[in-house]
Chain A
């Protein structure tokens, strides 16, 4: 049935539906993701039916087909560990060369990229899938949740990334959004978003620090808040440091204990995943008690493991110390002392760990701010920024480049062109020259990182400036310009100044997507869109069928006496057919059974209606009725 939409006067929807469509904030986290929306400066996370805001960043590809995201994907883990992917954010924009940093962390078959791009892929459920593709599934699920909660199409978003994400990872995040059908209004650094969520609430001014320890990444940022301006002074972090490391430490200990007890386990993916799941649970328990224990069952053999807070603290002390080292370094970059910090905001689930809180408080000399849920604070800030960008709000975010950008020069040495912590957007240029007589081409190799040698930095792109007129060595003046936009994305161009020969490249990180990859993914997502639609229609048919059955049962209970035995048997048969169809997956059969049942129950329905009318009339005098008729 088509319902006409009725609107109260003054509440008619805006004529420009596209412009008025809501822009959401998305925290695409390593472990969990959250989507939020802000209205008139008030941000709120969007919850599911059970009231949960967090969607586990887990994607499952069940062998029966389709894609699962979140809790459903997590439930698939015990049965089909190979078909479930968690912590995919760690691989965003990573190439084969980076694999040593994640090897052993991700128990999947990893395929180094082939051909022109170098992005890794995971072999899952018989198909090679890129981190971009897998992240897009999470974004699609968040988008669906937002659309369900807001009852409107959602096509625009502010997505947060760790401040320390390099160009490759930022590009990969933007690509994932595109595959999910979202226009990215802005990539905002997670710590900045967190500060935004706090700053607007409290109207605070002064120097603030954001300590963000998530599942897989750590960021520390210093911001100055002044009259609605959020100025990032310095930022630093580690893209491979987080609560997952804590889990792994506990899991490794448990597996070692089993080994010591002579349980010669076959350590396969399922075992690792079970141990990690239990480890995470125990870690969470230790956030508000002094000891905990867990039961680990691998291939039917159980073992019991106890863990005290003190033991746990000792296991993670090195990781926590590393975060503090980074924090001190960032303070040094900004030329600030810990005592100048007005407040420190804690972000990320791992800041619930008591040792982390205690150590941060000790370094800053102040109790950290924790009044906004650390799991939601980033998404809330992103939502505020989304609102500000689409016409609300008067805040201004002034962000910086997290890592230095430079070029390879002779001998593999890096010449920095844009130093880290430079405010963005930025355009900076540097002049280079030829080193050989008659040199007509120059290779430009763009790198990112703080180290002096190219080999220790991340290679972002290579291109060649051709057509330099032959000159003596050192005579050509080649100006290489770097432009970083407000999203932190880089474009590099080179020009020979004496002749004006020019080359320009939008830095496609070496690990980015080729156009073919992108096309494949968009195509896949279209393909899935059809599957998604089919699934929805099936669900709707089942819901409708269930409603019919309930109505019929209620009617039979009340007025079953109106039917004779043969009629009743016929109706029961029709009912059974619909029930059987609903247990299956064939939508056409469900609809056919529902139609048949409706036809069968028609006489019954008519008889009930007649009886209803008769009952309504019973006890009324003919006169009464006549006088009424005469009215």
Chain B
């Protein structure tokens, strides 16, 4: 069963978070191991497996990027594993330049500005995914998702850099 079906939701890029939460909470009420404390071991084990699968589905679908990657894979787009090297020279160049910029950012404000730019960029790219999925353009989907993955990593690095700056400034 795929994650969308498990939560009884349509397999779509756009997902209303409120309905995702509703479906998830209702199913967890049914399957969470806390509901099975006094039940026989076999039932407890089943509940644990169901609850774990629900958690996996919820986590994957909640985040727009991981949802898009998951949907792409369901649609037959082959994505490289997380953390693999980037095979797009254009993206590689962009990533290296951005990283240098981050490295040179000496203040929390400068880091914040970079992070804000990346967030905007991610938002726009995510919005653009819809038409690519509609057109079924697999190479373009793959390219866009790889770039989004990189932007996500960059945002994470910016956050770490900001924490370090804050810490050393005291």
Which A residues touch B167, using CB under 8 A? 325
Which A residues touch B49, using CB under 8 A? 427
The verdict on A486 contacting B34 (CB below 8 Å), with A427-B49, A428-B56 known, is: yes
Which B residues touch A412, using CB under 8 A? none
Asked if A423 contacts B48 (CB within 8 A), the reply is no
B51-96 residues at the A interface, CB under 8 angstroms = 51-53, 55-56, 58-59
> Residue A332 contacts which of B38, B48, B59, B159 (CB distance < 8 angstroms)?
B159
Q: What is the minimal beta-carbon distance from B119 to any residue of chain A, in angstroms?
A: 10
Which A residues touch B48, using CB under 8 A? 425, 485-486
Asked if A396 contacts B37 (CB within 8 A), the reply is no
The verdict on A390 contacting B37 (CB below 8 Å), with A321-B170, A398-B32, A426-B55 known, is: yes
Question: Main SS of chain B's interface residues?
Answer: helix
What 1/0 flags go to B139-155 for Cβ under 8 Å of A?
Answer: 00000000000000000
Which A residues touch B28, using CB under 8 A? 229, 396, 398
What 1/0 flags go to A419-441 for Cβ under 8 Å of B?
Answer: 00011111110000000000000
A294-324 residues at the B interface, CB under 8 angstroms = 321
Number of A-B contacts (CB under 8 A): 62
Q: Which residue on chain A has the smallest CB distance to residue B83?
A: A415
A186 at the binding interface (Cβ < 8 Å): yes
Asked if A426 contacts B56 (CB within 8 A), the reply is yes
- Cα distance, A185 to B35, chains bound together (Å): 11
Which B residues touch A229, using CB under 8 A? 25, 28-29
Q: How large is the interface on B (under 10, 10 to 19, 20 to 34, 35 or more residues)?
A: 20 to 34
- Cα distance, A479 to B58, chains bound together (Å): 23
A444 at the binding interface (Cβ < 8 Å): no
B21 at the binding interface (Cβ < 8 Å): yes
Known A425-B33, A425-B55; further 19 A-B contacts with Cβ < 8 A? A19-B38, A229-B25, A321-B170, A325-B166, A329-B163, A332-B163, A389-B34, A390-B37, A396-B28, A396-B32, A398-B28, A398-B32, A423-B55, A423-B58, A426-B55, A427-B49, A427-B52, A427-B53, A486-B33
- Cα distance, A486 to B170, chains bound together (Å): 39
> Residue B37 contacts which of A227, A389, A398, A485 (CB distance < 8 angstroms)?
A389
Which A residues touch B55, using CB under 8 A? 422-426
Which B residues touch A389, using CB under 8 A? 34, 37
What 1/0 flags go to A214-231 for Cβ under 8 Å of B?
Answer: 000000000000110101
Which B residues touch A75, using CB under 8 A? none
Q: Which residue on chain B has the smallest CB distance to residue A385?
A: B34
Asked if B29 contacts A426 (CB within 8 A), the reply is no
Q: What is the minimal beta-carbon distance from A446 to any residue of chain B, in angstroms?
A: 18
Which B residues touch A388, using CB under 8 A? 34
